[in-house]
Amino acid sequence: MAKSPGPPVGGTAVSRQAPGSARGRGLFITLEGPDGSGKTSQAARLAATLGAGGVDVVLAREPGGTELGERLRELLLHRDDLVIDPLTDAFLFNAARTQLVAEVIRPALAAGRTVVCARFADSTLAYQGYGAGLDLAILRTLEAIATGALRPDLTILLDLPVEAGLARKRRGRAALTRFESRVDVAFHRRVRDGFLRLARAEPERWRVIDAARPRSTVATEVTVAARSLLEARRGERERV
């Protein structure tokens, strides 16, 4: 079992229900959004709420969630002394992702567990693609290699205006990441618009939630979105 290098590390079991592959592949739910949209806390809240309701949940985050991933996270987000080319970023985020999928996400889904992950491959499309200008087709190829074509069943976009998100981050206690300390508001606008485009292009997978509202309101909507998918899946299984 991998040692947890620091909270909140992915692969955290939030309920102790016995895994059962007889229930079929578990659901994969991701939360995405610009910096300061509250993904990390909403992901934890969602996992706790579902867990309390008897759903067998694993909570993960990107970049990170594995021992290697957490070390890459440190390099990617908290080393302002490094100059990192956007393509290098794309490789490294995808390297962390490969490890997370192999070590945590696939085994959990195969055991019939629900995986809630704060950020996933759409973040690379939004930040390195729409934000930093890398070719989206190349990024999608890298993504397919890294994930083995695993895609979320539901992606919740916590959307809010860039200025509001960055202001929240600056008020917070956590150290700013390399992307958050970037004063380039235009970059963050492209990232937000990128997420919105991705959501519009695949409305059956995405739910867009206005994250500028109080946390508890947002949490309720996040839970409703996840529960309706879980119930739909349960209904499908009962029919077969």
How far apart CA 139 and CA 33 sit, in angstroms, is: 18
Q: How far is the CB of 120 from ligand TYD (least distance, A)?
A: 7
How far apart CA 110 and CA 44 sit, in angstroms, is: 22
Q: How far is the CB of 98 from ligand TYD (least distance, A)?
A: 12
Which one, 30 or 112, has the nearer CB to ligand TYD? 30
Which one, 55 or 154, has the nearer CB to ligand TYD? 154
Which one, 124 or 230, has the nearer CB to ligand TYD? 124
Q: How far is the CB of 124 from ligand TYD (least distance, A)?
A: 4
Measured on CA atoms in the order 224, 229, 233, 238, is the torsion positive or negative?
positive
Q: How far is the CB of 26 from ligand TYD (least distance, A)?
A: 21
Which one, 14 or 191, has the nearer CB to ligand TYD? 191
DSSP string, 127-177: IIIIIT---HHHHHHHHHHHHTT---SEEEEEE--HHHHHHHHHHSSSPPP
How far apart CA 230 and CA 115 sit, in angstroms, is: 12
CA–chain centroid gap for 128, Å, is 15
Residues at the contact surface with ligand TYD, assessed by CB under 6 A? 35, 40, 62-63, 77, 93, 119, 123-124, 127-128, 174, 177, 179-180
